[in-house]
Amino acid sequence: MFNNKIDYWMDKKGLKNKYIAKICGVSETTFSKWRQNKTQPDLQYAALIANALHITVDELIYGENKE
């Protein structure tokens, strides 16, 4: 579930694993596990991922804002 949102936003923004992992202060392996849904990031990392993607945590978790 969460991984699909990360994939969506990364594709939309044209960002790579290496960039997001660096912003979050984790290895590319750890970030890849989040994207593959092998593990889930802690809430603090969700905020860092959202920040790196230039979106809100709500958008990352629930999807694109449809206001």
| Predicted TM-score of the model (pTM) | 0.82
Beta strands in the chain (DSSP E): none
CB 55 within 8 A of CB 9: yes
Q: Which two tokens stand for residue 52?
A: 């790196």
Instruction: Give me the CATH number covering residue 42.
Output: 1.10.260.40
- The string of pLDDT tens digits covering residues 9-67 is 999 999 999 999 999 999 999 999 999 989 988 889 999 999 999 999 989 888 776 55
Is 35 contained in some domain? yes
pLDDT for position 65 = 63
Counting the structural domains of the chain, the total is: 1
The domain in which residue 49 lies consists of 2-62
37: region left, alpha or beta (phi > 0 left; psi from -120 to 50 alpha): left
| Joined tokens for residue 53 | 């993607």
